[in-house]
A and B are shown apart, each in its own frame.
Chain A
């Protein structure tokens, strides 16, 4: 059971997500497995703002200058200096001792400040509960607490996703980040994200 960190406390673990863009086949299994696992009631409903399936993973399709189709998968970056943590007026958004950015629904009034504060645009409003949803969902948190991987990691057929502790030098994510070229999104935003995009060997 993870606990809420108080001001000045440092997390004992720094759990991070890794997405290997060089392995990804853009099948969308991670996006759908996220919804079916964490928000099954949203499987047939659209996230109106994004015009896509309501998932904690947002898929951005684009085309490079050379005309090559490109996919970017974005989700909560569990930033070490998370803007949503600073702006949430009621303390509903917090960091736990695993370094994960969490939401306490008891303390959320649905003001949307966390939504406008997130530079990655990864929070979406559940139309019924009006909670600002994001990675990780409740069921994925249960999976992780039971020592399993989150739904997206389990569902990926190409092995393009991973999740682990950056503080553990032997964890699979640490090894990947040590041996492969990777980058983080919006590095200049100063949020210290813990979502890594692997670009190749």
Chain B
């Protein structure tokens, strides 16, 4: 029997689809920045920039009082109020610096910008190993932040687990690998890089499957009432199709099947394209279903 006090956060706090898209774009940009350290291609930097820019537009437009943001930031700075115990403010700082470094990276790849004298420093800076290490670290931390953003929301017991940042990093890595595979499909990257990415992707898919099932198992078997309500919605309730069909079927099993075929039989660009799109969709479904299934602990007298 459903408890009398049953409320999903999406109906009240409205963290719904736009936040799911935001988390997805941050995952692609974040772990894409780690991948950039190994695959230094212009196309990857454009994908990172696009993802970050769209993600930020989405999250700002989702704010109920977005028009008050300049005043909010001004009041915060002038009053010296910085709440660094909030993962959201940590994220704002991380994403701002990450965006700035991405703009420099993109500028280093655009030929006509490199012909402008006062922008040539971007080319040399973006090639420096130290810069790329800092960039990769920032991307990793941005992905971690997008997980802890949910973990810190203590009203939603389903989210109060450190598995979420881990899941976000693993699935963000899968998304970055899918982007690299798509770059191979479009002839933007060498075949050897793609082969390595497929093998790496197989391992990450297996870890993601274990982490998703572990997330559900722990919440269902040992979680509080609120966590169980959320996990039940994911496993057998309203969002079961998204979990089993979207996250696990499309997002994990399809890429594993195509990955195994690629490694054991032969490499096919159309199949790799399907696998990449399926993996990216699965990463999105994972974020969406975890968000939408978030419910409060029912209160009883």
Q: Residues on A close to B: CB < 8 A?
A: 21, 48-50, 60-63, 70-72, 74, 83, 86-92, 104, 106-113, 115-121, 123-125, 129-131, 185-186, 189, 197
Which B residues are in CB contact (< 8 Å) with A131?
Answer: 64-65
Q: Are B64 and A130 in contact (CB under 8 A)?
A: yes
Q: Which of A48, A107, A116 contacts B13 (CB 8 A)?
A: A116
Interface of A is mostly: loop
Q: Are A90 and B66 in contact (CB under 8 A)?
A: no
Which B residues are in CB contact (< 8 Å) with A121?
Answer: 5, 7, 12, 155, 296, 299
Q: Are B296 and A21 in contact (CB under 8 A)?
A: no
Binary per-residue interface labels of chain B (48-86) against chain A in the complex, 1 for a CB within 8 Å, 0 otherwise: 000000000000000111101101110110010111011
Known A49-B12, A70-B301; contact A117-B72, beta-carbon cutoff 8 A: no
Known: A21-B301, A86-B86, A112-B14. 6 other contacts (CB 8 A): A60-B299, A61-B4, A86-B85, A86-B152, A108-B68, A189-B154
Nearest B residue to A131 via CB reads B65
Q: Are A88 and B72 in contact (CB under 8 A)?
A: no
Distance A49 CA – B81 CA, assembled complex (angstroms): 31
Q: Residues on B close to A: CB < 8 A?
A: 3-5, 7, 9, 11-15, 63-66, 68-69, 71-73, 75-76, 79, 81-83, 85-89, 92, 152-156, 294, 296-297, 299-301
Q: Are B12 and A125 in contact (CB under 8 A)?
A: yes
Distance A102 CA – B5 CA, assembled complex (angstroms): 25
Which A residues are in CB contact (< 8 Å) with B88?
Answer: 87, 89, 111, 113
Nearest A residue to B79 via CB reads A91
Which A residues are in CB contact (< 8 Å) with B155?
Answer: 83, 115-121
Q: Are A91 and B81 in contact (CB under 8 A)?
A: yes
User: Number of A-B pairs whose CB atoms are under 8 Å?
Assistant: 134
28 interchain pairs, CB-CB under 8 A: A62-B5, A62-B301, A71-B301, A72-B5, A72-B299, A86-B86, A87-B152, A87-B154, A89-B83, A89-B86, A90-B83, A107-B81, A108-B68, A108-B72, A109-B65, A113-B86, A113-B153, A115-B13, A116-B9, A117-B155, A119-B297, A120-B299, A121-B155, A121-B296, A121-B299, A129-B65, A185-B299, A197-B301
Interface of B is mostly: loop
Q: Which of B11, B65, B69 contacts A49 (CB 8 A)?
A: B11
Distance A131 CA – B300 CA, assembled complex (angstroms): 27
Cβ distance A91 to chain B, nearest Cβ, rounded Å: 4
Cβ distance A148 to chain B, nearest Cβ, rounded Å: 29
Cβ distance A140 to chain B, nearest Cβ, rounded Å: 22
Q: Which of A89, A92, A124 has the most CB of B within 10 A?
A: A89
Which A residues are in CB contact (< 8 Å) with B153?
Answer: 87, 113, 116-117
